[in-house]
Amino acid sequence: MAELPREIMDNIFSRLPVKLLLRFRCVSKLWCNIIDDPCLANMHRTQAGDEEPLVLLLLGFHDRIEMSSLYELEDNRGVLRPITSNKQPLLNLESKETENGIEQYYLQSFCKGLLCISSLSKVILSNPLRKESLILPPVTLEYKSMPNFESYGLGFDTSTNMYKAVHVFYKEIDFDTMRYKLGTRVYSLGSTSWREISSIPSYPIWKPIYVNEAIHWITDTRFEIDNLKGKIVSFDIGKEEFQLTPHPADIHIDSFHPCYLINLRGDLAIVESQSCSASVVIWVLKNWNTKQWVKEFSLYIAAPSMYLGNSYISSVCPSESGLIFKDGGTSTVAHYNLGSDEVEWYKICKLTGSKRMDLLQVFSFKGSLISLKSYGKLM
């Protein structure tokens, strides 16, 4: 195969799974150079659309060392177990003691093979399959910001083939009057700093998702203000402008009816749930131009008694055949097969030495060949 024309090798490699290609780097120097070529990464991003997503677990600080770790999960007889390579996770982030306590890392957003992870002191872009992580330039704020209320969205500008991170933050906030002033900064991968832009969201936002060349947020339900409820705020990656995307008229979004935005087979979708109910409704935005929403699924996610706890849905993400629901009260997840209408429940195996399993995030992820080495010094 080494003697095949380069165009044919690129065409073959661009259709193979990322994990397999990264293992192929060890075959020869030629294969390594081909797989590490940014041109192949761009080609793979456009041609490998059917690649099966991985299920990843971001676990908060554990053991005696304050460390956040990222693992791939696999099903082992009804138990989701972390896959380790030489007993090492995909990513380790050491937490340091700060004046506000132990530094914790949170998954903010992900897009086309990269993760955006933040803590109180830093923002990180990571390609976990390559085990490469890059600390982004620090953000200087003119006003005191609210770390727990900031949001980072990650998107991809197809017109320039460039990843962009969007930082929405509070310049000012008064919890007595609920008045606030927001700001927005954008970072383009490869640049040396963030730049503030004039476009800002109309409302406080959280939990971003990238779909159809835009980053979408639901308004922050921690603000109990009637005119904030049920809004979807979208950021056009190319134009770098915010706009409102109408939500389905028949849904009600507040702290008792939490909703989650997901990328469902390339379409923006809203997963509507209730805090004390196993009923879930999924709305899909079928026509972006007319903003036509369709109620596509009505599900019932009832946990068997052996899994019950202080049960509520804390996150939702797509899988190859359906949806994965994270139970916020226990270390369990449910997989709903949209084709067979079947639900399977899994316990997440407790890692050896881990004292806590509540500080975890479960999400699905499609890998990328992109290397972060050329964009700065890696962690």
Overall average pLDDT of the 101-119 stretch: 87
pLDDT for 147 beyond 60: no
Least confident of 182-186, 256-260, 322-326: 256-260
Q: How many Cα atoms sit within 13 Å of 55 on the Cβ side?
A: 25
59-99 confidence digits (pLDDT tens): 765 554 567 888 888 877 667 777 766 667 888 888 777 66
Model pLDDT, residue 64: 46
14-69 confidence digits (pLDDT tens): 999 999 999 999 999 999 999 999 999 999 988 765 677 888 888 765 554 567 88
Overall average pLDDT of the 120-128 stretch: 91
Residues 6+ apart with CB under 8 A from 192: 137
Give the single-character DSSP code of 372.
Answer: S
Residues 6+ apart with CB under 8 A from 84: 71
Read off the tokens for 5.
């024309």
328-350 confidence digits (pLDDT tens): 767 788 888 888 888 888 877 76
Phi, psi of 266 (to 5 degrees): 90, 0
Total-model pTM: 0.88
Q: DSSP of 124-141, one letter per residue?
A: EEEETTTTEEEEPPPPP-
Neighbours of 233 (CB within 10 A): 23
Give the single-character DSSP code of 378.
Answer: B
